[in-house]
Structure 1
């Protein structure tokens, strides 16, 4: 396999960083690859906020639920759903911006932000950087919106901490490929047995890294998915102009 594929297969989340800055040249290249990602209808409905200010990173770490690695990383990217640019286009050509009334706008921008972030992840890791995605920017989105001065029709989708790894974490086991690849149709019959086996694999992995209290994948996942863990997302989406009514 080529080096790009090997880099992607070797991915692991890094939360401990060296006290070493990332050069502006590298940051610019990471923005270049983020912007090179595909976007639906070429709408380019994403933007990236590059955060290097220590005080701002510390505030974002607190807003994300005490994720200290945000503050410790030399650079933090926030990927933004951005229809503000489309709003300006609508005013320029005198046509209404209606897409933000629909859940489709949120889905499109979320997918496009993910595509951009994955480009950054692959590029960053190929340059020897470590990363960890941060969904916690949606924990207190109203505060993040205020801190980053986000205008209407924009929304923080996901963050990405970047830095030179102080150590390499273990690669987390994934479910067998049989649970991921389905040929022609979704094959649900095979999944219960696969999940049970994967829970045993995760139990061993979690014990090895000192996180056995999380038990296994099923318990760990449902400890979170048994409730709406970011309840401010829906009301703040609406207040930013994303009605999600259609």
Structure 2
């Protein structure tokens, strides 16, 4: 059995792994939901290549995601060359799983393609330089990539997103020969997990914190967050993570500017990549 195949596809077990003690009511259930509930980040990969046609299948799944007004702002760049993956791993702060995985996919907010339509048709696109358009392009990318992740996991493959491609988007763009107005939103490792690489399902905030009915209401948050911190303390101890609680992780990640690892210069980087965002 593959390490990522759900061993307990029952909904109570799946909800318990995802929420710990704060299990929400168990509603309708099927194999698709069971698979989604078993998602976990994989940071250790076997050298085995993915089967022929897997990349194309994942891209087909990605292209089947919703896309705003059918503008299709997403492009994907498959990277298998060890030398190129080594550089990407360096940009990402030495994340070795980028080098380990047999397939790395860079997910691109590709506004260059529609700009080429503008050029070919000799029609200026007044909507292109606005923040809304850039946001829509990034949202399109996220929706497409998540479809690919669900497809990969259904095939027994492991994945992990690499947001650290944004540490140095200009260097990434040069390495991947991106045209102006193209930007790698994140990367994705794909491959078969090692026995230790699969990890476990990470607990999430109780639904009482994130699910609101009719209007926004944070009234239960102060009482429920300590419960989640306790769950994350146990998870962190099992995985020898430095930040024991979720609260501490938020403080570490959002407190000091150094935690952005260069991403605080994103506006300047995007301008150098040809984006004029108003």
Deviates more, 1:235-244 or 1:73-82: 235-244
Q: Does 1:235 align with 2:268?
A: yes
2:19 aligns with none
Which one of the candidate residues 230, 235, 246 is aligned to 1:217?
Answer: 246
SS in 1 for 2:53: helix
Q: 2:215 aligns with which of 180, 185, 190?
A: 185
Report the alpha carbon displacement of residue 182 of structure 1 after superposing the two structures with TM.
0.7
Distance (Å, rounded) in 1 between the aligned partners of 2:68 and 2:96: 34
- Compared CA separation, residues 100 and 243, structure 1 to 2 (3 A): same
Q: 1:144–1:196: structure 2 CA closer, same or farther, 3 Å change rule?
A: same
| 2-structure distance, mates of 1:77, 1:99 | 29
Preserved CA contact (<8 Å) 1:145 1:156: yes
Give how far 1:98 is off: 3.1
SS state of the match for residue 108, structure 1?
Answer: helix
Counting only pairs closer than 5 Å after superposition, residues 1-246 of structure 1 correspond to structure 2 as 1-167=29-195, 168-211=198-241, 213-228=242-257, 229=260, 230-245=263-278
Give the TM-score of the pair, scaled to structure 1.
0.95
Q: d(CA) in 2 for partners of 1:186 and 1:242?
A: 35
Q: Secondary structure of the residue that 2:50 maps to in structure 1?
A: coil
Deviation, 1:7, is 0.8
Segments of structure 1 that go 5 or more residues without pairing to the other structure are: none
1:134–1:161 contact (8 Å) kept in structure 2: yes
TM-score when scaled to structure 2?
0.85
Distance in 2 (CA, whole Å) between partners of 1:62 and 1:24 is 28
Alignment RMSD, CA only?
Answer: 1.3
**Is contact 2:107-2:184 (8 Å) kept?**
yes
Give how far 1:17 is off.
1.0
- Distance in 1 (CA, whole Å) between partners of 2:72 and 2:192 is 30
Report how many residues are paired: 244
Contact 2:170–2:272 (CA<8 Å) still a contact in 1? no
1:130-168 per-residue CA deviation (whole Å, 9 max, x = no partner) reads 000110110011110100011011111011100101123
SS of alignment partner, residue 146 of structure 2: helix
**Can you list the C-alpha shifts for 1:199-239, whole angstroms capped at 9, x where unaligned?**
1211121012212x312111112211124401232111112
- When structure 1 is superposed on structure 2, of 202-211 and 7-16 the one drifting more is 202-211
The offset of 1:106, in angstroms, is 2.2
Is the alpha carbon distance of 1:61 and 1:206 closer, same or farther for their aligned partners in structure 2, counting shifts above 3 Å?
same
Partner of 2:25: none
